[in-house]
Amino acid sequence: MAHSQCCICGNSITERFWVCEACERAYDLKRPFPEWPEWARYLQRDEATRRRRRDHEVQVIPVSLLDRAERAQVDRLLYGEAEDD
């Protein structure tokens, strides 16, 4: 499985999470992504871009240009592939 980083502190975490448990507790992020504070969503978008670039080196679409439905599609694309192995 691919290794991913906590988008806040850089700790190694499971691919399907954006922040580690410590940051989740510290910054009260155990809630739906749209309710995250703006700075945290900014870091998440940054990390999403980094992961997508890592997984698909050629195709880079800024997540900030996607609406929520499109973002969900991207998530399905990214994480759907992981079920193949």
Interacting residues with Zn ion (CB under 5 A)? 6, 8-9, 11, 20, 23
CB of 10 to Zn ion, least distance (A): 7
Backbone torsion region of residue 57, taken as left when φ is above 0, otherwise alpha when ψ lies between -120 and 50, otherwise beta = alpha
CB of 9 to Zn ion, least distance (A): 3
Q: For residue 35, with 0-12 CB atoms within 10 Å meaning exposed, 13-18 middle and 19 or more buried, which class applies? A: exposed
Listed in sequence order, the DSSP H helices in 1-85 are 21-26, 38-55, 68-81
Task: Output 21 or 81, the one with its CB closest to Zn ion.
Answer: 21
CB of 28 to Zn ion, least distance (A): 13
Task: Output 23 or 63, the one with its CB closest to Zn ion.
Answer: 23
Task: Output 11 or 49, the one with its CB closest to Zn ion.
Answer: 11
